[in-house]
Structure 1
Amino acid sequence: MKKTILLALVVGLAGCSDAMPEPNAATCAPGAYEEALAEIRSKSHRLAFTEECKSFQRAENMRKWEFKPSSPDRY
């Protein structure tokens, strides 16, 4: 009996967690970003997720580069 009540309590509380999604390319994409923000209930978690997505986007932009060869007369 006690095990059944404990199991029901654990299962019931599992849905109450307000876990913040991991910021990555999928969750920080424009459509998924708003969807993820709507699911987060806590204001502090929303602000943290927003900042982490901004940080993720800046890091992604820093990784993008394009090779630009020097002009022949600059050797």
Structure 2
Amino acid sequence: MLNCKQASQLASRAMDEKLPMWKNIALKMHLILCRSCTNFTRQLQFLRKASRRSRTNLDFQLTDEARHRIANTLKGKQADR
């Protein structure tokens, strides 16, 4: 049985590549039992759709505030490692 960390990594990978059958089954079983990972997977799908839509709108740009907020968050994540 997968733990949540393994399931979230597989959910992310599954968006970019076809998983082997046994990994796909293990992920689906985990998602049936774990509401948090199911929510995480839905959020990944939402973000992917949103990012694809933003690519079609060439006028789309982040505000300076949003850029700084994202950069600071990423810096904080790197410091935690």
TM-score of the aligned structures, taking structure 2 as reference length = 0.37
TM-score of the aligned structures, taking structure 1 as reference length = 0.39
Greater helix share, structure number? 2
